[in-house]
Amino acid sequence: MSKKAWAVLLIAVGIVAVLLGATASAQELETVRLSEVVRSVFYAPQYVAINKGFFEEEGIEIELSTAWGADKGAAALISGSVDVGFFGSEATVYIYKQGATDHLVGFAQLTARDGSFFLTRDVDEEFAWDNVRGKTIVGARIGGVPQMALEWVLKKHGIEPFVDVEIITSLAFEAAVGAFESGLGDYIAQFEPALSEIEARGRGKIVASIGAEAGPMTYTVYHAKKSALEENPDLFARFTRAIHKGQLWVASHSAEEVAEMIAPFFPLIEHEILVRSMGLYQSINAWPTTPVISEEHFIHLQEVMIEAGELDDFVPFSILMDTTIAQSVAEEAK
């Protein structure tokens, strides 16, 4: 065999080896079926973790689905159709109070505040919370934390919900913005980027952050069945490590850079709006730099629920939240 033929053979063998190695690596990835409550820019660190390959670094392939509701996400987790449910911990509280045996447990947090902002229709308004008296707010679903956080903030400013101000709670999440732009209500509480888009069209002005006003609380959390956490702690540790990498990346990069990284998940949102939304969330410290769930913040969540009349008494932190994995991951990163 000539030298040229040998060279061609060696190159071919090398290519086959690379392809076989890539196939083997792909086969080694463990699939985790992750259900997110909604597709939202509020969850930027999660999308960064996916796009930056942080899950692959931990030997995980994410199979992402969107539940479009905490109740649906929790139901999927309970049924076993997903491995990890990402939703508000109020759903976990409700399920536990109903007497579930293999109940759901939160093991890592992504957001630590309500993600709603408050917008007035009057772009010239010099806003003060007392301005909402006698007006109408387009709110959210009764029993959901966005609505409960709004009510908490109103009471904090001496305004009694549904007495001093009308709040519309009957609209579906995706219909609220369109209804407001069609003329319903004087104010709206909603997540980004919806309000920045309204503002960009000159139809309103963002005047407050519900999350900043309500204070830190256990908000959107990754949950698993109690039995699953006990049976496979290594898998959930690797999952949490990838999420933590996403949190740290977002904390160390600009709104522009974060917007660019998550843009593939939001192809219909204009770049400038996405940058604006990332900046707003960074400005209120919506994303903690640790996946460890705070007991103090979990208590505050339940205070908000009790004040709204959705919970009669506190559920112990140790029953519904497990910080063992997240604390270990956070220590490793130091």
Domain end residue (candidates: 214, 238, 271): 214
Q: What is the pLDDT of residue 101?
A: 72
Q: What is the pLDDT of residue 7?
A: 39
Q: What is the pLDDT of residue 143?
A: 86
Q: What is the pLDDT of residue 15?
A: 41
Q: What is the pLDDT of residue 27?
A: 57
Token pair recorded at residue 109: 């947090």
User: Across the chain, where does the E strand assignment appear?
Assistant: 30-36, 60-66, 84-88, 104-109, 116-120, 136-138, 166-168, 187-191, 205-209, 220-225
Whether the pLDDT of residue 41 is over 80: the answer is yes
Whether the pLDDT of residue 80 is over 50: the answer is yes
Look-up: residue for tokens 């660190």? 45
d(CA 163, CA 160): 5
Integer angstrom CA distances of residue 140 from 90, 133, 177: 15, 18, 11
Report, as an integer, the average pLDDT of 47-67.
98
Q: Is residue 17 situated within a structural domain?
A: no
Q: Are residues 238 and 109 in the same domain?
A: yes
Q: Are residues 193 and 222 in the same domain?
A: no
Whether the pLDDT of residue 293 is over 60: the answer is yes
d(CA 139, CA 103): 30
% of the chain with per-residue pLDDT over 70: 92
Lowest-confidence segment of 10-19, 246-255, 297-306 by average pLDDT: 10-19
How does pLDDT run across 209-249, given as a tens digit for each residue?
999 999 999 999 999 999 999 999 999 999 999 999 999 99
Identify the domain containing residue 73 by its residue range. Answer: 29-113+217-333
Domain end residue (candidates: 182, 214, 246): 214
Q: Are residues 147 and 210 in the same domain?
A: yes
Domain end residue (candidates: 214, 240, 262): 214
Q: Are residues 228 and 311 in the same domain?
A: yes
Q: What is the pLDDT of residue 188?
A: 98
Q: Are residues 88 and 64 in the same domain?
A: yes
Q: Are residues 104 and 238 in the same domain?
A: yes
Q: What is the pLDDT of residue 10?
A: 36
Q: Is residue 293 situated within a structural domain?
A: yes
Q: What is the pLDDT of residue 66?
A: 96
Q: Is the peptide bond before 193 cis (omega within 30 degrees of 0)?
A: yes
Token pair recorded at residue 311: 């919970």
Say if CB 219 and CB 145 are below 8 A apart: yes
Given pLDDT bands bounded at 50, 70 and 90, which one contains residue 98?
confident
Whether the pLDDT of residue 107 is over 80: the answer is yes
Report, as an integer, the average pLDDT of 182-203.
97
Whether the pLDDT of residue 18 is over 50: the answer is no
Q: Are residues 56 and 142 in the same domain?
A: no
Q: Is residue 230 situated within a structural domain?
A: yes
Whether the pLDDT of residue 8 is over 60: the answer is no
Whether the pLDDT of residue 24 is over 70: the answer is no
d(CA 108, CA 294): 10
Say if CB 117 and CB 210 are below 8 A apart: yes
Q: How many domains does the chain have?
A: 2
Q: Are residues 120 and 138 in the same domain?
A: yes
% of the chain with per-residue pLDDT over 90: 85
Mean pLDDT of the chain: 91
